[in-house]
Amino acid sequence: RKEVEQDPGPFNVPEGATVAFNCTYSNSASQSFFWYRQDCRKEPKLLMSVYSSGNEDGRFTAQLNRASQYISLLIRDSKLSDSATYLCARGDSSYKLIFGSGTRLLVRP
Choose between 8 and 14: whose C-beta lies nearer to another protein. Answer: 8
| DSSP states of the chain | --SEEE----EEEETT--EEEEEEES-TT---EEEEEE-TTS--EEEEEESSSEEEETTEEEEEETTTTEEEEEE-S--GGG-EEEEEEEEETTTEEEE---EEEEEE-
Between CA 84 and CA 70, with CA 98 as vertex, the angle to 5 degrees is: 75
Q: Choose between 19 and 86: whose C-beta lies nearer to another protein.
A: 86
Between residues 62 and 89, which has the closer beta carbon with respect to another protein?
89
User: What is the spatial distance between Cα 34 and Cα 27, in angstroms, rounded to a whole number?
Assistant: 15
Give whichever of 18 and 31 is closer to another protein, judged by the CB atom: 31
Minimum CB separation of residue 6 from another protein in Å reads 8
Q: List contacts with another protein (CB under 8 A).
A: 4, 6, 8, 31-32, 34, 42-46, 49, 51, 87, 89, 91-102
Residue 106 beta carbon to another protein: minimum distance, rounded to whole angstroms = 15
Query: Residue 91 Cβ, how far from another protein at the closest point, in Å?
Result: 4
In whole angstroms, how close is the CB of 19 to another protein at the nearest point? 20
